[in-house]
Amino acid sequence: QAPLVESGGGSVQAGGSLTLSCAASGRTFSTYAMGWFRQAPGKEREFVAAISWSGGSTYYADSVKGRFTISRYNAKNTVALQMNSLKPEDTAVYFCTARRWYRSEDPLNQDYWGQGTQVTVFS
């Protein structure tokens, strides 16, 4: 079984909301920083948000700051990404990631990846 499994993607009208979830299995991720990346067609994979292993610090790309909220529930080994005020440019495949101890906004510097979940925002 994949260590990270995303869910919650779908299609939504611009201005709407979606919540993505990432369930970790096979090991505990309480000592991992967790993150979300996304990749739109024809574009490079980009950082969206991250949360420290303790949950005490969060980080966001400028493009989503104020609209997206990342949170984690270590007891349930899950991470969520609440996405509000969605825009068509948010359309992408969203990936959950884990990196031991400290976050990285570099997609090449992650320890684990999920398989991705599609988010489509239509106007």
pLDDT per residue as tens, the chain (123 positions):
679 999 999 999 999 999 999 999 888 899 999 999 999 999 999 999 999 999 999 999 999 999 999 999 988 889 999 999 999 999 999 999 999 999 999 999 999 999 999 999 999
Quote the CA–CA distance of 22 and 8 in Å, as a whole number.
Answer: 9
Beta strands in the chain (DSSP E): 4-7, 10-13, 18-24, 32-39, 46-51, 58-60, 68-73, 78-83, 92-100, 112-113, 117-122
